[in-house]
Amino acid sequence: MDKLNRSFQSSIDNSCFLKNYLHNQSAENAGEQMLGKPGLLSARDGAPVVVERASGQSRVILICEHAGRAIPEVLGDMGLSAALLESHIAWDPGALAVSRLLSTALDSMLVHQRFSRLVYDCNRPPEASDSTPEISEVFAVPANRGLGPVAKAERAEALYLPFHERIDQLLDETAHTARNAVIVTIHSFTPVFKGQKRDVEIGILHDSDRRLADCMLKKASAASGYDVRRNEPYAPVDGVTHTLRRHALQRGLLNVMIEVRNDLIADAVGQGR
């Protein structure tokens, strides 16, 4: 019992040491604004990752990295107006609603991120400069200006790691392995980007594994009535296939990323279509 107690006490001492260390570092380096705080997310912020229809029977696993636009309380408004925090720079409007409709229609599990991509873009690896963008489209994001490595790591630990580790865990579970899961990520894009109007309505995106995308493009061009294009308005070179690469390519799973122009899914009628 004593041994256990000593070990417990030693853990407490270590954790106090760590807290003091972080606090002192914080005072010494004002640039590292997040350093020394107990963590990016408080209990009031809630969990970053949501899994819906966890017992869905479909092979398809739907993933929505830009579903939410929550901001951790500690970051305030990130220096942005309310209008920008509701705009496409903060999230993919309509993408979660479409994902939920698909999840119901297919009986598929859906994994989504509640926090804004401005805090951390879960479709980017931690080493990518745009994982915590200083500029999104043409808008400066004051809370991301000059973030140091510790602050960046804290964002990744709070949002990126739990999100992707949860997906890893789900894919490791026997039921999904046995079912040979299919990874489908759902996104939306703005009809006007950097002043340029976009005609494409639905993008079917893929990385080096094009099997599912080829099949979808073949069917879409014949019957959808929409302007459907391959690897538009973004392509792998833009870094948008990170989730596909991390989870599907490694495991040899069928995969695709679907981008829908957000004016088409702005309301329930469009989302249902």
Contact map string, positions 172 to 191, toward Zn ion, x by CB under 5 A: ---------------x----
Rule CB under 5 A: is residue 229 a binding residue for Zn ion?
Answer: no
Task: Report the residue closest to Zn ion, judged by CB.
Answer: 187
Q: Are strands 196-197 and 228-230 parallel, antiparallel or unpaired?
A: unpaired
Contact map string, positions 73 to 112, toward Zn ion, x by CB under 5 A: -------------------x--------------------
One DSSP character per residue, 150-200 reads HHHHHHIIIIIHHHHHHHHHHHHSHHHHHHT-EEEEEEEE-SEETTEE---
Report, in Å, the least distance between residue 40 CB and Zn ion.
Answer: 21
- Residue 152's identity, in one-letter code, is K
Residues 252 and 76: beta-carbon distance below 8 Å = no
66, 100, 152, 247: residue in contact with Zn ion (rule CB under 5 A): 66
Report, in Å, the least distance between residue 187 CB and Zn ion.
Answer: 3
What letters, b where the CB count within 10 A reaches 16 and e where it falls short, cover 165-185?
ebbeebbeeeebeeeebbbbb
- Residue 273's identity, in one-letter code, is R
Q: Which is nearer to Zn ion, 92 or 154 (CB)?
A: 92
Report, in Å, the least distance between residue 198 CB and Zn ion.
Answer: 14
Rule CB under 5 A: is residue 32 a binding residue for Zn ion?
Answer: no
Residues 118 and 77: beta-carbon distance below 8 Å = no
Q: Which is nearer to Zn ion, 69 or 152 (CB)?
A: 69
- Calpha distance 234→254 (Å, rounded): 20
**What residue ranges bind Zn ion (CB under 5 A)?**
66, 92, 187
